[in-house]
Amino acid sequence: MSKQSQQQFFDEEISKNTRQSVGKFYSITWAIHSFYREYLCAHVVGKRVLEYGCGSGSQAFFIGQQGAKKVVGIDISGERIKQAVRRAQEMKLENVTFRVMDAEAMDFEDGSFDVVCGSGILHHLNMDIALPEIARVLATNGRAIFIEPMGYNPAINLFRHLTPHYRVEDEHPLKKADIDLISRHFGYVDHRFYYLFTLLAVPFHRTLIHSSLVAFLNFVDQVLFKIIPGLKFLAWQVVLVVEKPLKHHA
């Protein structure tokens, strides 16, 4: 799919709210997002932060309120950026700005940011191009954190097959080879996997037991991932923390 087609898809997603019906799946994802936000809180104070694939500003506002020196959000969708700019103006966040930009060919100088973050962005990109770009714009002691979907869970893959209209044609949930590729561009890579048996809580998303069931099954998942390490690749999502960008790959 061309960049223009991707831009059109995400512009229409904003205007038509095309993914509203998948909300029941994301009702179980509080644990990974809690870790993501806690990590950002611990590392953005006084820093230059890039939200990579910001949508309509998913975390940029939060980061700006945590004492970041400056926050820049980029996205290929002009409609998403328009919404983000309006919201930043309404919130009077002078340290937060947004730009329409191709994530695989960023207009920033080398070492422009101390922290890069993104949620659900890498699997839309050519990682052979995107990863060196991320390493390039990070400062030498910079770090990055991403939340991404994995590509091995059979239940999630069946849902993806049945609902192609919810996604662009060339998105590719991560495989082990993609995670291995990240190590070629960063000297430190940590990954934490989430949501295997926790997916069993999805049908209960409108019930009183939902929160408790999610918490219990998420605990079960984390225990099983430690006991049976290979099981983690069947998880739905992964959070990737990377440091020590290797500039010679840029």
Query: Which tens digit of pLDDT belongs to each residue from 54-109?
Result: 988 689 999 999 999 999 999 999 999 999 999 999 999 999 999 999 999 999 99
Mean pLDDT rounded to a whole number for the chain:
90
In a domain? residue 217: no
Q: Is residue 186 part of a domain?
A: yes
100, burial (CB in 10 Å: exposed 0-12, middle 13-18, buried 19+): middle
Q: Does any domain span residue 39?
A: yes
Residue 115 lies in a domain: yes
d(CA 75, CA 10): 10
SS3 195: coil
The residue range of the domain holding 34 is 3-196+234-249
Mean pLDDT of 196-217: 96
Let me know if residue 216 belongs to a domain: no
**Residue 215 falls inside a structural domain:** no
Top-confidence residue, 165 or 219: 219
- pTM of this prediction? 0.89
Q: What is the pLDDT of residue 100?
A: 96
Helices H / strands E in the chain, number of each = 9, 7
Please tell me the distance from the alpha carbon of residue 74 to that of residue 81, in angstroms, as a whole number. Answer: 8
Sheet holding 138-149, edge to edge: 96-100, 70-75, 48-52, 113-119, 138-149, 237-245, 186-194
Is residue 221 situated within a structural domain?
A: no
Tens digit of pLDDT for each residue in 139-161?
Answer: 999 999 999 999 999 999 998 88
Residue 15 falls within a domain, yes or no? yes
Which of 18-32, 121-135, 207-221, 225-239 is predicted with the least confidence, judged by mean pLDDT?
18-32
CATH number reported for the structural domain that contains residue 21 in this entry: 3.40.50.150
Does residue 51 sit in helix, strand or coil? strand
Residue 32 binned pLDDT confidence (cut-offs 50, 70, 90) = very high
Cα dihedral angle (73, 163, 7, 35), rounded to 10 degrees?
10
CB 50 within 8 A of CB 116: yes
pLDDT at 22: 66
Q: Which residue has the higher pLDDT, 166 or 55?
A: 55
Q: Which residues have CB under 8 Å from 249's CB, separation 6+? A: 131, 132, 135, 184, 185
Q: What is the pLDDT of residue 171?
A: 86
Q: At what angle do helices 78-91 and 3-16 cross, to 10 degrees?
A: 50
Q: What is the domain count for the chain?
A: 1
pLDDT, position 116: 98
